[in-house]
Amino acid sequence: MQSLKVLIAESDPLLQKLYSDVIINDSSFTLLKCVSNGEELFDAMKCVDVDLVLLDLFLKDFDAMADLDELRKSYSRTDYIVVSSGENPELVRKALCIGVFEFLVKPFSFDRLRAALKNYQIYHHSLTGRTRPWQQEDLDALLAMKSHDPSWSANRSIPKGLQLKCLNDVETFLKEHDATFSAQEVGESLGLSRSTARRYLEFLTMSERVVVEYAYRRVGRPEKRYRMALL
């Protein structure tokens, strides 16, 4: 999949560096630029094609109440993860009303930021890469990404003998990695037997949450390997 282009709009140089390190160390994203104020933000948006902005609402020369609307109007295909203080409830409401993907209240953990980025990656590619008609349950699952709900399977019935927590653990493990995994590898990572991991993986495959790829060997049958599917 093509990497997603990210712009960081943050006035604090230390936070710029920390956010940059998270982006640079994730091959799913490409860091385009860091800006420190509203003027630089709008100038950058005019010059580069941006998929996602990490945005602090309290930038100098940035009137969030008005400029959020301007950003949405002028760059409708760009998404935003707000990384900001939550001290102004009306501003939080404004950001949510214009449809920011996530609002991370400072201070937050970098694991939380990484989770937001992973959710956005799946959300973006699911929207732009979809070729078959949408079903309601698929849209429900996709929209759940915006509420940071990792338990997509909680909205679906599961067969007797499978545990919801274990199912979510398997799904979360695959979400957190871009590679493919065998049932043995998933089981070892989560403390499950290969046969148990395979049951959960096969159920997720039947539910179109996971896809199978085959690794062909010189001898014997090809190995089944699993990865998260686009919705």
pLDDT exceeds 70 at position 229 = yes
14-45 confidence digits (pLDDT tens): 999 999 999 999 888 999 999 999 999 999 99
Task: Enter the DSSP assignment of 222.
Answer: P
Residue 40 makes CB contacts below 8 A (sequence gap 6+) with 9
pLDDT exceeds 70 at position 151 = no
Tell me the C-alpha distance between 165 and 80, whole Å: 30
The mean pLDDT value for 91-113 works out to 90
Average pLDDT over the chain reads 86
The mean pLDDT value for 136-146 works out to 70
pLDDT at 153: 46
pLDDT at 146: 66
pTM of the predicted model as reported, rounded to 2 decimal places: 0.68
63-79 confidence digits (pLDDT tens): 999 999 999 999 989 99
pLDDT at 30: 94
pLDDT at 154: 47
pLDDT exceeds 50 at position 152 = no
* Surface-to-core class of residue 47, CB atoms within 10 Å of its CB (0-12 exposed, 13-18 middle, 19+ buried): exposed
The mean pLDDT value for 167-177 works out to 88
> Identity (one letter) of the amino acid at 144?
A
pLDDT > 90: percent of the chain? 48
